[in-house]
Structure 1
Amino acid sequence: MNRKWMFLLIILISAVFLSGCWSKKELTDLAFISAVGIDKNEDGKYVKTIQIINPGNVAGGLQGGGGGQAPSVSVFTATGDNILEAHFRASTKISRRLYQAHANLVVIGEQLVKEEGITDIFDAFERDPEFRPTTTVVIAHDTKAEDIIKTLTAIDKIPADKVINTLRTTEQAWGENININIQEAINTLESPGKELILTGFRLKGDAEQGKKMENIQSSTLDAYPEADGIAIFKEGKLIDWFHEEESRGTVWILDKMKETDVNINWENEKEAIGYHVIRQKTTVSADVKKGRPKMTIDIRAEGDIREVTVPVNLNDPHVLLSIEKAVEKEIKKEIEKAVQRAQENKSDIFGFGEAVHRSDPKAWKKLKKGWSDVSFPEVQVEVKVNAFIRRTGLRNKSYLYDMEKNR
């Protein structure tokens, strides 16, 4: 009996220290932020654009952006001497508490990161306990971040989701863009042997029309955000943009390529055969001799033949071997273009410095100080590519080959 009373007494005492619902947040009291845009105005103040979800207009499914009579988001803009001040100034325009835990996108204006850099921007986000470090970061290319945030989008009701999903899709299917989050960006900025890259988004069409409901109530949009190249940084400042082959070459080196298409010439026909990469593996190694680093990039690619526009017999192993060699040459060309451009910019976006550090820490101590401006532009780079054809589609021999043979 005494043991039962003792147990009951412990429970009663423990109940005193329970916190209960002291930190509860009612949904009706919160304004859920889905995206944030950062620019600077002519007065040198930060301009923070906040995209807030309208729950009632999103209800009924997240697909079909043009189905409602009212926009699924509301956008507010405020200015301040720093990002935090701009954030709290925005609260004077909104009837609910700004809640950032659901924000999944940060868009930063190109002009801002060109002139002042990106280094100071992340502190306010990383320090905030509500803001997630896994939030994606992109650069507004040839436009303001504000315009990207304010543009209404079709298919995805919430514009932030449209940008995120577009980035993930193009990263998976085409390989010219990379999804980088806040924590990854900060880690890169902290590394002395690697420079930052971020995906750019350009606004296609009329920015003013993109803010209106009419933009998503027709089959063709007047304005929409589109993934557009990779932003190249040096010491936190935007210095260049990579597109097409240079972008893909960068993704190859970083071992981030998931899928892509490699088109090769065949029998005097340009881009006559389409090779679809389904998997790849990149290994970057460094070797320092007499104080001079040499990088070796080994790439193994596997893929399928997805399209041919010339008569070719894919049953012939010699033909397949020739196609593989042509694919290897094309991939190597893309990588060498990316390396050359990065060396011209004196920006080690590939992390060659990190590879040297791993390979030879003593040598890195000597090379570290002048790495970007002295050593990296002179680094010798050897590219080795091995490409393999795993399948040739639903038929081995193209009907074009049979047509040519029967003439």
Structure 2
Amino acid sequence: MKVKWIIQPPIYMVMLLLLTSCWNSRELNDMAIVTGIGMDKVPNTEEYVVTFQIVNPSATATSVGVSTGQPPITVYTSTDRTLFGALRKTSKKVARQLFFAHTQLLVIGESLAKSGINGIFDVFERSHELRLNSIVIVSRETDASSVLKILLPIESIPALAVVKKNKNTAKLWGENRAISVFELINSITGEGEPVISGVRIFGDLVKGRKKTYLEQSEVEAVISVSGLAVFKEGKLKGWLDGPEARGTLWVQNKIEQTSINIDSEKKQDSIAIDISHSKTKVKVKLREGVPVFHIYIDEEGSVIESQDFVDLSKRKELQKLEVELAKKTKEEVVKSLQAAQSMGCDIFNFGDELKRKDPKAWETVKNQWSDIFAKGELDVHVQVYIRSTGMRLKPFLPNTD
């Protein structure tokens, strides 16, 4: 009985400690919420220019009241040898501590991309503050800081607007990819080379930073998703646009939806096909030391528009469209491979596939894979099925035959 009374007090003391509040809690009004981070290179140095896009809580509040007249975000910039150093150095300029739990976007400046990006992601894996699921983009023909300073309509927080644009166009058009920091690190550490969506600024950069220019139907500056940045050994090698970009994502099995215009018997690009399903399988084999890339694409779609008379009630007419659609898809895949081979960049992760399927064969080519990849042969098979013709069969356009 005495032993019981001796043991109980220490147990109660431990239980009381467990019931205490969070020892490292922070009040909301002590935090500056960072929604976007931009990284640029200081010319001729090893330092980074790091930009933080921070939310102005009073300007984004939805409650009824007198407007503060402030922009929805404020941008701060610091220069340091490391990202974390710039983060801490910004405390000299901001009245609140930077808070990264809601950071959605990481923008890499084109100049930094050309000099190399492999070293900037170490802090994301080490620090508990930074998010690995933030979307990464590359600013094209401008710096990352400028992208984060542009105010955009509809979405009050510009960084969120850019992320949504990137995800929407990746899903609906298929020439861009929404890639996170985590996915990018895996791509860098793999046997292939990464591709990252790019953005351009169209319009007046100076006016685009002012809130007053949002008070009109046509804004002065727009951020537009533009192309895929191709990297080799961590450095920006070139850009893919249009069919080359979409062909790349076709091979990577990243196409969710897209639209392709195909030819009718009389008019070029007169029939729009909405691709609603696409699945790609890849096999890589070595044949006498030369890699052969076997690509198998299955896709389904619907006729969504016709600018020429085509009797879609006849199965043979649909089959003609299927053949034409398979041809267009194959052309885009071929263009993407040719572009990648000209840059010597395995952006399709063919090396990873060969390593996984045939480790012994991979050991014989891994040290010269860039050169061997550039000499590889392509074998594309596209299977197309047009599932629907929309709300009608025959177009209302008259048959001129």
TM-score over 0.5 for the alignment?
yes
State the match for 2:27 in structure 1: 26
Deviations 1:221-260 (A, max 9, x none): 1002110000000000001100010000001000000000
**Closer/same/farther in 2, CA of residues 6 and 143 from structure 1, 3 Å limit:** same
Is the CA contact 1:288–1:360 (under 8 Å) kept in the aligned structure 2? Answer: no
Deviations 1:268-304 (A, max 9, x none): 3111100100011000011223333211000000010
Is the CA contact 2:196–2:229 (under 8 Å) kept in the aligned structure 1? Answer: yes
Of residues 34-43 and 98-107 in structure 1, the stretch that sits farther from structure 2 once superposed is 34-43
Q: SS at the partner of 2:179? A: coil
Q: For 1:140, give the aligned amino acid.
A: S
Distance 2:206 2:235 in 1: 29
Q: What is the CA-CA distance between 1:83 and the residue it aligns to? A: 1.9
State the match for 1:240 in structure 2: 238
Q: For 1:306, give the aligned amino acid.
A: I
Is the CA contact 2:37–2:105 (under 8 Å) kept in the aligned structure 1? Answer: yes
Q: What is the CA-CA distance between 1:8 and the residue it aligns to? A: 6.3
State the match for 1:64 in structure 2: none
Q: Does 1:368 align with 2:369?
A: no
Q: Does 1:106 align with 2:101?
A: no
Map 1:380-391 to 2 at 5 A: 380-391=377-388
Q: For 1:25, give the aligned amino acid.
A: R
Q: SS at the partner of 1:269? A: coil
Distance 1:319 1:350 in 2: 34
Q: What is the CA-CA distance between 1:325 and the residue it aligns to? A: 0.2
State the match for 1:293 in structure 2: 291
Q: What is the CA-CA distance between 1:15 and the residue it aligns to? A: 2.5
Deviations 1:357-382 (A, max 9, x none): 1221100011101001x210011110
Q: For 2:62, give the aligned amino acid.
A: G
Is the CA contact 1:302–1:389 (under 8 Å) kept in the aligned structure 2? Answer: yes
Q: Does 1:396 align with 2:393?
A: yes
Map 1:79-98 to 2 at 5 A: 79-98=79-98
Q: SS at the partner of 2:250? A: helix
Q: SS at the partner of 1:120? A: helix
Distance 1:113 1:157 in 2: 28
Distance 1:277 1:22 in 2: 53
Distance 1:68 1:168 in 2: 32
TM-score, length-normalised on structure 1?
0.93
Of residues 270-279 and 207-216 in structure 1, the stretch that sits farther from structure 2 once superposed is 207-216
Q: For 2:142, give the aligned amino acid.
A: T
Q: SS at the partner of 2:347? A: coil
Is the CA contact 2:253–2:279 (under 8 Å) kept in the aligned structure 1? Answer: yes
Of residues 215-224 and 283-292 in structure 1, the stretch that sits farther from structure 2 once superposed is 283-292
Is the CA contact 2:286–2:292 (under 8 Å) kept in the aligned structure 1? Answer: yes
Number of residues paired by the alignment? 396
Q: For 1:190, give the aligned amino acid.
A: T
Q: For 2:377, give the aligned amino acid.
A: Q
| Residue ranges of structure 1 left out of the alignment (5+ in a row) | 62-66
Q: SS at the partner of 2:271? A: strand
Map 1:258-297 to 2 at 5 A: 258-297=256-295
Distance 1:17 1:404 in 2: 84
Distance 1:120 1:249 in 2: 29
Q: SS at the partner of 1:241? A: strand
Distance 1:259 1:121 in 2: 33
Deviations 1:188-223 (A, max 9, x none): 1111x2101100010111111111012311111100
Of residues 33-42 and 149-158 in structure 1, the stretch that sits farther from structure 2 once superposed is 33-42
Q: Does 1:59 align with 2:43?
A: no
Is the CA contact 1:293–1:356 (under 8 Å) kept in the aligned structure 2? Answer: no
Q: For 1:40, give the aligned amino acid.
A: K
Of residues 73-82 and 249-258 in structure 1, the stretch that sits farther from structure 2 once superposed is 73-82
Q: What is the CA-CA distance between 1:395 and the residue it aligns to? A: 0.2
Distance 2:244 2:7 in 1: 70
Distance 1:391 1:171 in 2: 23
RMSD between aligned alpha carbons? 1.9
Q: Does 1:379 align with 2:376?
A: yes
Of residues 126-135 and 301-310 in structure 1, the stretch that sits farther from structure 2 once superposed is 126-135
| Residue ranges of structure 2 left out of the alignment (5+ in a row) | none
Of residues 38-47 and 131-140 in structure 1, the stretch that sits farther from structure 2 once superposed is 38-47
Identity, in percent, stands at: 36
Distance 1:354 1:218 in 2: 50
State the match for 1:195 in structure 2: 193
Q: For 2:290, give the aligned amino acid.
A: R
Q: For 1:313, give the aligned amino acid.
A: D
